[in-house]
Structure 1
Amino acid sequence: MFHKLFYLLLLVMLNFGCSKEDPPINKPAKHEKSFEIYKEAVDSLESGDYFYASKKFAEAETILPQIEFAAKASLMSSYCLYIINFYDEAIENLERFIKVYPADKNIAYANYLLAISLYEQILDEKKDIVPLLKSKEKIELFLNEYPNSEYALDLKFKLDLINNQLAAKELYIAKYYIQSQKWIPAINRLKVIVEKYSETIFIEEALHRLVEVYFIVGLLEEAKTTAVILGYNYNTSKWYENSYKILNKEYKIKKIEKTKKDDGLIKRTIKKLLK
């Protein structure tokens, strides 16, 4: 809910940030109704009646005289749907916004909200991979289009989480194949992690499992090569130790004792700060 309040703050800033764009006090009579509907939508938004606010923003969009106000009403309607978890409706509205108002100043935010709406539908990567892939695709498109946007950092973080979930799914399936002694499918799944998700937390175990499977099927050179890669990049990992034990049955890896660091300066500095 904290995140959604944050997005609300952004929308309020978009909505009221530029006073020069506010509706003029002396509005033409034929446009009075449109601004009254828009104001009613804003009041409903502020009171927390998001569903009604969404309907009124959508209604206002169709009759507002200026395109920038119509675009703003459309975006606000989408946000209201998002805040009450009407994701499908919000996504449909946002996709329409992007097509109808491609030059709007808030187009980056619309794409961001679209990516977030897809991301928040991710549940369990073991059950349904479609939301993961859709969210990943949209986030990558956003980062390519708006790499320096204020929203880019948040989406980069979410993309890392998605990649970890996808890697977890591949590893889960690979382990199933290993237990079933289906070595070729297991190797293929593990290679996906190595090739596509090498920056995730699952890369170390994936490399070890490759060593393990290669050794079982008699591909000793491949097992040794993979173990070298694992050792070069993660030589303090338990997975490297396990891989080494597979290839060297009688070898025991020596534990490296950590040298005590000279923290005298740190302690002296702290003492000075405490005086």
Structure 2
Amino acid sequence: MLKRFLPLALIASLALLTACSSSDKKEEKFTSEADLYNAAEEQLEHEQWETAIKNLQKLEENFPFGAYAEQGQLELIYAYFNNNKPDEAIATANRFIRLHPQHRNVDYAYYMMGLSSFTKDKGMFERVMPTDMTKRDPGDARESLANFTQLLNRFPDSPYAADAKKRMLFLRNGLARYEVHVANYYFKRQAYVAAISRGRYVIENYPQAPATPDALAVMVQGYHLLGMQDRADEVLGVLRTNYPNFPALNKKGEFDYDYAFQDHERNLLGSITLGLFTKQETIGFDTRELYDAQYQKAPRVAK
């Protein structure tokens, strides 16, 4: 019975081996370097990111020292970034900088590293629903700031420098606000020394950030709660001089030490959306709508 079907099995096996051999030959047969690069360029033009990435990877694997090798690596960074793969974009940019530190377009690699870190923590949910990014882990923001700083230090005249400066300002403001959020959390825990340290950190590292008045108020409140009223009054003088309209100051310029512990009510929309669209109940200081242009409401236009 077995002998009867043996020829058929052999024929099937030979056919399978032939097909595999044919497939392998097809895989090993590459187009020319120029054709492969041009195909990837066309795919990038049509935003076919996945296909472009595969062809650029194939270009790098099979023509590592070719005429298009370095440009192909730069295009691969771009493709990864646009395909929402920031970690791969950063790794590819890092490798390019390490292999080609003197390349005429190495500033682009530094810029893309900063840009990839800048957008790394913006997932799908954040793209659809507004969230307070200043309350997120600041690791990516610090990484992005470091990459942009390196770009400006090494290539101050780079065509990407102007955009990097704008993003750095945004990052610095966000990091300063994050420190105030942490200080507010420490107030809840009655960790007043830690809260003061966060406020001082903002003043020393992010001067003139929109979070500065809140950082000063944090220090005033913290020193007062520690019974160090002389220090509180000293910082209060700075706050009063520079931000006379700060909400915790009354008309006489006196500090309302109960202000930080007043509740901010949510409306119905805020309750439904878990506070995404309204200020939540909080302890501490958050005056972004007064001092940060990004959060200020546009004036009504008369009809």
TM-score, with normalisation over the residues of structure 2? 0.65
Q: Distance in 2 between matches of 1:105 and 1:64?
A: 21
What percentage of residue pairs aligned between the two structures are identical?
27
Which contiguous aligned blocks of 4+ residues in structure 1 show a shift greater than 4 angstroms?
62-68, 239-243
Name the structure 2 match of 1:222. Answer: 231
Deviation (angstroms), 1:120: 0.6
1:229 is displaced (CA, Å) by 1.6
Shift of 1:80: 1.0
Q: Deviations over 1:206-237 (max 9, x none)?
A: 11221122223221221121122223333344
Mapped contact 1:91–1:114 kept (Cα < 8 A): yes
Question: Could you tell me whether the CA contact under 8 Å between 1:118 and 1:134 is conserved in 2?
Answer: yes
Give me the whole-angstrom Cα distance separating, in 2, the residues matched to 1:107 and 1:70: 14
After superposition, give the CA deviation of every residue in 1:98-138 in whole Å (9 maximum; x if it has no partner): 11122221111111111101111134343422212211211
Question: Aligned in 2, Cα 1:187/1:97: closer, same or farther, shift over 3 Å?
Answer: same
Structure 2 SS opposite 1:246? coil
> 1:164, 1:201 within 8 Å by CA — same for their partners in 2?
yes
3-state SS, counterpart of residue 221 of structure 1: helix
Q: Which residue of 2 aligns with 1:23?
A: none
Q: Which of 149, 155, 175 pairs up with 1:146?
A: 155
Q: Secondary structure at the match of 1:229?
A: helix
Question: Are the counterparts in 2 of residues 125 and 169 from structure 1 also a CA contact under 8 Å?
Answer: yes
Structure with more contact order per residue of length (Cα contacts < 8 Å, sep ≥ 6): 2
Whether the aligned pair in 1 keeps the contact of 2:244 and 2:253 (CA below 8 Å) is no
Contact in 2 for aligned 1:68/1:104 (Cα 8 Å): no
Contact residue 224 and residue 247 of structure 1 kept, 8 A: no
Cα separation, 1, equivalents of 2:173 and 2:250: 23
Aligned to 1:133: 142
Q: Which deviates more from structure 2 when the two are superposed, residues 60-69 or residues 87-96? A: 60-69
The equivalent residue for 1:188 is 197
Shift in CA distance, 179/70, structure 1 to aligned 2, threshold 3 Å: same
- Highest CA radius of gyration, 1 or 2? 2
Q: Cα–Cα, structure 1 residues 243 and 84, in superposed 2: closer, same or farther, change >3 Å?
A: farther
CA distance in 2, matches of 1:128, 1:165: 11
Distance in structure 1 (CA, Å) of the matches to 2:203 and 2:140: 22
Partner in structure 2 of residue 44 of structure 1: 43
5+ residue gaps in structure 1?
A: 1-30, 249-275
User: Are the structure 2 counterparts of residues 121 and 247 from structure 1 closer, same or farther at C-alpha, using a change threshold of 3 Å?
Assistant: closer
Task: Give the number of equivalent residue pairs.
Answer: 218
Check whether the contact 2:248–2:255 (CA below 8 A) recurs between aligned residues: no
Q: How does 1:253-272 map onto structure 2 within 5 Å?
A: none
Please tell me the root mean square deviation across aligned C-alpha atoms, in Å: 2.5
Q: What is the rounded CA distance, in whole Å, between the counterparts of 1:211 and 1:243 in structure 2?
A: 16
TM-fit CA distance, 1:151? 1.1
Structure-2 separation of matches of 1:170 and 1:59: 45
Q: Which has a greater percent of helix?
A: 1
For residues 20-48 of structure 1, what are the alpha-carbon distances to aligned partners after superposition, in whole Å with 9 as ceiling and x for unaligned? xxxxxxxxxxx971112112212222232
